[in-house]
Amino acid sequence: MSSERPIAVVTGASSGIGEATARRLAAEGFHVVLGARRMERLKAVADEIGGTARHLDVTDADSVAAFTEALPGCRVLVNNAGGALGLERVDAADEEHWRWMWEANVLGTLRLTRALLPTLVESGDGHVVTVTSIAAREIYDGGAGYTSAKHAQSALHRTLRGELLGQPVRFTEVLPGMVETEFSLVRFAGDEERAAQVYAGLIPLTADDVADAITFAVTRPSHVNIDEIVLKPRDQASATRAHRRG
């Protein structure tokens, strides 16, 4: 693959924050390589923004190897693929849900980052953005599978900042609160009513609000490292406290 434009890889770009980020980075002049499992949606976005759609399942090491093959000039990696499954208390934990959350959020970030770090460093101006969550700093009842995965993903990401110190690569962690995407629909196995309840009576962030923050970090001068961006709706004070109208 060759491109005149610098390459930005966005995982989980078939919907939500990843899709919005792919659009924003393309507008900033990047050739965006979009990865996710739903190829039709991925291809539609890629065609619109002059990017490249590639199948990616971050829970599968072979898929990551095929996806990351031949990405010369890759400058930016956005580790965004992931999410939550279920809301069971620890005493009723579903191990399959836990396994998926750890595979997608934690090991997915490890696999992509490990595969692309040499190219990012070689570019002379690399950047790894990892979308964790306020769940990487907070906990809540029923959320242990997700919050433990996001805490671990965050620890992995922040470790890299020290390990790569002195190399030409930046690290930014983005920690959103409530964003209205397909996140809750996935978490509640397609239950639209339950998903809608999450955002009822408040104004959540949009995917584009988060993409805007990611793009801000990426477009700072090369010597400026935005370490963390925490963004929440004005109506949300914490993972467990929100103001709802009506």
User: What span, in angstroms and rounded, lies between the C-alpha atoms of 6 and 26?
Assistant: 10
Residue 102 CB, shortest distance to ligand NAP, in Å, is 12
Under rule CB under 6 A, residue 133 binds ligand NAP: yes
Residue 118's closest CA among 59, 60, 164?
A: 164
Number of residues lying near ligand NAP (CB under 6 A): 31
Taking CB atoms, the residue at the shortest distance from ligand NAP is: 16
Q: Which residues are within 8 A (CB) of 191 and not within 5 positions of it... i.e. 6 or more apart?
A: 185
Contact between 184 and 195 under an 8 Å Cβ cutoff? The reply is: yes
Contact between 24 and 214 under an 8 Å Cβ cutoff? The reply is: yes
Amino acid at 95: E
Under rule CB under 6 A, residue 83 binds ligand NAP: yes
- Which region, judged by CB under 6 A, interacts with ligand NAP, from 53-61, 120-128, 220-228, 229-237? 53-61
Contact between 150 and 133 under an 8 Å Cβ cutoff? The reply is: yes
Question: How far does Cα 207 stand from its chain's mean position?
Answer: 11
To the query of whether residue 146 is one of the catalytic residues in this protein, the response is yes
Tell me which of 7, 8, 10, 16 binds ligand NAP, using CB under 6 A. Answer: 16
User: What span, in angstroms and rounded, lies between the C-alpha atoms of 203 and 95?
Assistant: 33
- Which region, judged by CB under 6 A, interacts with ligand NAP, from 54-62, 87-95, 163-171, 232-240? 54-62
Tell me which of 12, 86, 126, 143 binds ligand NAP, using CB under 6 A. Answer: 12
Q: Which residues bind ligand NAP (CB under 6 A)?
A: 11-18, 36-38, 56-59, 80-83, 104-105, 131, 133, 176, 178-179, 181-183, 186, 207
Catalytic residues: 146
